[in-house]
Amino acid sequence: MVRLNAATWSIAGLATFGVIARPWNLPEFIWAVAGAALLVLLNLLPWPDALAAAAKGTDVYLFLIGMMLLAEVARKEGLFDWLAAQAVQWAKGSAKRLFLIVYVVGTAVTVLLSNDATAVVLTPAVYAATRAANVKPLPYLFICAFIANAASFVLPISNPANLEVFGTQMPPLSVWLHYFVLPSACAIAATYIALRLTQYRSLDATVAVVEQMPPLTLGGKLSAAGIALTAVVLLGASALGRDLGLPTFVSGAAVTISVLLTGRKSPIPVLKDVSWSVLPLVAGLFILVEGLNRTGVLPLLAETLREAATASPQITSWMAGVAVAVASNLVNNLPMGLMAATTSQAAQVPAHVTAAILIGVDLGPNLSVTGSLATILWLIALRREGELVAAWQFLKLGLVVMPPALLLALLALSAVSS
């Protein structure tokens, strides 16, 4: 059993390294899928169990497909270019004001549409805004990555991982807000201050003036209405305690079909440009987590967590939050969220310990480029625009941005839990 456990953890570790480092510049999904395939080929995980593990991600797949369809059809219909021109006009020549506008919009999109939507939908719009403003894009694009995680626990729908961590023990919205409004406010404010201070040199630039506002086409208007409607649908689904994947998929598909039929356009260009590689990446991560779960380590962690929470709940919440935050950067917060959910639910820990774990899962990934699925989606969106961000470049900024936000959020959680 020890040998098998070591083999499983080694494969998971190598797959994670491949996702983070992308050796030979191979896409992230290849490493996750290769790791999952090795578990099956070496009989470390029976193939029916691997398929069942991949099937657990169905809601995530549907959610991502819906969001990617919305983003792609909006991009092709010129909605992002129109929004970019609006943002540049509101900036009135000030890079600092443009920076604040992007941050506020990023926060709103994350809260109402999820952190993955910020990466998929907002990133191309912000890139278009920087082109229209004739400023360096990265300072503004970094907002999309960092706010996607910093604001991802304001509401349950702000991050699909939130639903995984709490599972069937999801608290009512009033209880959720009691625990997370103040920690979220601290995380959002601290992240803004850190980004503002680290990017100050780039914010001395002058923003170009938009001479002529581009017209918003009928397809663009339909795309905008569809995105707004999707936000309403997600809020309704969350209030009813329903999964978010199917409503998002139906909304995205309906908007795409409406836009294409109205414009009498082929669906092939939209479907061709969707980042489908994200789906096997997520499936591979789900299978790797199932393999790790079979090693017996997670039940041991659950017992340790139960004993610690019984002895000292407040100290345990701090330790669990920090530990999960760091671990999320090592294995990605999607599998970390699944492992944390399995562990915390088995341990039956107090609500504020689970809340601290969730903050670690959501906010911790702001340390590395592959800490969260949202950041991976952000990287993919950047590559499509010809922008590259190295892992070390992101880590240097993450070391400044993430720790203060995490500590302030956990401190705020302690205040509202006492």
What does each C-alpha distance from 157 to 17, 285, 394 come to in angstroms? 29, 21, 26
- Residues constituting the chain: 418
Q: How many helices (H) and strands (E) does the chain have?
A: 21, 0
Residues 158 and 113: their CA atoms lie apart, in Å, by: 6
The C-alpha angle 19, 20, 21, rounded to 5 degrees, equals: 100
Instruction: Residue 167: name the closest of 321, 337, 52 by CA.
Output: 337
CB 204 within 8 A of CB 65: no
What does each C-alpha distance from 227 to 67, 97, 100, 276 come to in angstroms? 9, 25, 22, 20
Which pLDDT belongs to residue 398?
A: 94
Instruction: Residue 201: name the closest of 122, 336, 96 by CA.
Output: 96
Residues 39 and 370: their CA atoms lie apart, in Å, by: 22
Name the one residue in this structure whose structure tokens are 């970390």.
Answer: 336
CB 130 within 8 A of CB 386: no
CB 170 within 8 A of CB 156: yes
The amino acid occupying position 125 is A
Residues 87 and 144: their CA atoms lie apart, in Å, by: 15
User: Which residues lie closer than 8 Å to 204 by C-beta, 6 or more apart?
Assistant: 95
What is the full per-residue pLDDT of the chain (418 aa) written as tens digits? Answer: 444 577 776 777 677 666 666 677 777 778 888 888 888 888 888 888 888 888 887 888 888 888 788 878 887 887 877 777 777 788 787 888 889 988 998 898 888 778 887 887 788 888 888 888 888 899 999 999 999 999 999 988 788 778 777 765 667 777 888 899 999 999 999 999 999 999 988 888 777 776 666 677 888 888 888 888 888 887 787 777 677 788 889 988 998 999 888 888 888 888 887 778 888 888 888 888 788 777 777 777 778 888 887 888 888 889 988 998 998 887 778 778 777 877 877 777 788 888 899 999 999 999 988 788 888 889 888 888 888 888 889 999 999 999 999 999 999 999 998 7
Question: Could you read off the pLDDT of 150-182 as tens digits, one per residue?
Answer: 999 998 878 877 877 776 566 777 788 889 999
DSSP state of 171: P
**3-state DSSP assignment of residue 206:** strand
